[in-house]
Structure 1
Amino acid sequence: MSSGAEKIVSNIISDAQSKADIIIQKAQEETKTILEEGDKKAQFEGEKILESAEKQAQMKYQQLISEAKMNSRRKELEAREELIEESFAKAGAELERIASTSSEEYVESLKNVVSEAATEIGGGELVVLLKEEDISKIKDEIKDIEKDITDKTGQKTTFEIGETIKTIGGVVVKTKSGEIEVNNTIEARMLRFKKALRSEVAKVLFK
C-alpha cells in the first residue's frame, strides 16, 4: 500500500477510533447517570416504603395503646360498678334488718316518711299502706302526724290504715280516691335516690 493510501486509512481509523471513544464515553456517562438515577430512585422508593412501614407501625402502636387504655378503663369502671352495687346491697340488707325491728330509729323513720308523703300530697283524707308488722309500730303515732300535717298544709288531714303491702319497710300514702299516691317504701326510695347516692358512694369508695 502506498504511503498516501496508508495515511488515508490511518486517518479513517483514527477518526473512527475518536468517534468510538466519544460514543463509548457518552454511553459510559449515560450508564453512570442511569445508575445514579436508579440508585436515587431505589433509595427514594426504599425511604417511601420504610416511611410507610413506620407510619403503619406507629398507627398500629397507637391503636394497641388506645385499645389497652379502653380495656383498662372499662375494667376499672366494671370494678367500681361492682363495688358500688355491693355497697347498695349491704345498705339494703342493713335497712331490711333495721326495718324488721321495733327500734326507736325505725319508728321515727316511719313517722317521717308518712309525714313527707302526706305533705307532698297536700293533706286531706289519706290512706296509709304498710307491711303487716309495721301497723302496730305506727298506729299510736297517727293522731300526732294528722295534726302535724293539718298544721303544715292548712288542710284537715286524717289517716286510715289500708291493706297491707309487701315491702322491706316504709309506707305508701294515697288519697282516699286513689288519684294521688306517693310510694315511700324503702325499695322505692332507694331506687329514686340511687343515682345521687351512687355519686356519693363513689366519692367515699374512690377518694
Structure 2
Amino acid sequence: MSSGTDKIVSSIMSEAQGKADIIMQEANAEIAAINADAEKTAAAEKNKILENGKKQSDMRYQQIISEAKMNARRAELGAKEEVIEAAFTKATAQLKDVASSDSEEYDDSLTKMIKEAVDELGAKDLIIQLNEKDTQKFKSQLGDNVSTFQIDDVNFQLGEPIDTIGGAIVKTKSGDIEVNNTIESRLERFKSILRSEVANVLFK
C-alpha cells in the first residue's frame, strides 16, 4: 500500500476513532444519567414503600389496640352482668324464702301488692289469682266452698292457683284487663332501675 493510501486510511481510522470516542462518551453520559434517574426513582419508590408500610403498620397497630380495648370492655361488661345477675338470683331466692314462710312481713307485702293492683284497675268486681300456698291460706280463712270475699267495697273471686313465688294477678271479671303483681313480674319491671342501682353499689 502506498504512503498516500496509508495516510488516507490512517486519517479515516483516526476520524472514526474520534467519532467512536464521542459516541461512547455520549453513551456513557446517557447511561450515567439513566442510572442517576433510576437511583432517584428507586429511592423515591423505596421511601414511598416504607411510608406506605409505616402507615399500614400504624393502622394495624391502632386496629389491634382498638380491638383489645373493645374486647376488654366486653369482658368487663360481661363480668359485671354476671355479678348483677347473681345478685338478682340471690334476691329472688331470698324473696322466695320469705314468700314461702308464714311471716307477717310477706302478708303485709301481699296485701300491698293486691291493693296496688286494685287501685290500678279501678274496678269493683275482680278476680284474684295467687300461688298454691296463698290460695289455700285464703280458702282456709274463707271456709269450705267459699271463693268470694270483700275488702272495703271491692268484691273478689278467688281464681285458680298460678305458678309464682308470691304476689298476685288481679284482673277484671271479664278477664280483659289484668295487673300482674307477682314477685317475678315486679322484679322484671323494676329490673332496669335495680340494675343501675346494683351496678352503682357493686362498681362505684
Do 1:117 and 1:184's aligned partners in 2 also have CA atoms closer than 8 Å?
A: yes
Match status 1:48 vs 2:34: no
Whole-Å Cα distance in 2 between the matches of residues 166 and 26 of structure 1?
104
When residues 95 and 137 of structure 1 are mapped into structure 2, their CA distance, relative to the original with a 3 A threshold, is farther
User: What are structure 1's unaligned runs of at least 5 residues?
Assistant: 148-155
Residue 109 of structure 1 and its aligned partner are, at CA, apart by 0.7
Match status 1:120 vs 2:131: no
Match status 1:188 vs 2:181: no
Do 1:124 and 1:158's aligned partners in 2 also have CA atoms closer than 8 Å?
A: yes
Match status 1:203 vs 2:200: yes
Whole-Å Cα distance in 2 between the matches of residues 5 and 175 of structure 1?
138
Aligned to 2:146: none
Aligned residues with identical type, % of pairs = 54
Aligned to 2:163: 166
User: Paired residues, what number?
Assistant: 195
Matched residue SS, 1:164 = coil
Task: Return the letter of the residue paired with 1:115.
Answer: K
Aligned to 1:133: 133
Do 1:113 and 1:170's aligned partners in 2 also have CA atoms closer than 8 Å?
A: yes
| Root mean square deviation, CA, Å | 2.7
Q: Residues 7-65 of structure 1, C-alpha deviation per residue, up to 9 Å, x if partnerless?
A: 76665555444433322221221111011011112212222222232233223222222
Task: Return the letter of the residue paired with 1:175.
Answer: T
Q: Residues 146-195 of structure 1, C-alpha deviation per residue, up to 9 Å, x if partnerless?
A: 32xxxxxxxx4222333322211111111223222111110111122222
Give the TM-score taking structure 2 as reference length: 0.81
Aligned to 1:20: 20
Aligned to 2:107: 107
Whole-Å Cα distance in 2 between the matches of residues 109 and 118 of structure 1?
14
User: What are structure 2's unaligned runs of at least 5 residues?
Assistant: 143-148
Whole-Å Cα distance in 1 between the matches of residues 175 and 25 of structure 2?
112
Give the TM-score taking structure 1 as reference length: 0.80
Matched residue SS, 1:179 = coil
Q: Residues 66-91 of structure 1, C-alpha deviation per residue, up to 9 Å, x if partnerless?
A: 22222212211211111111111011
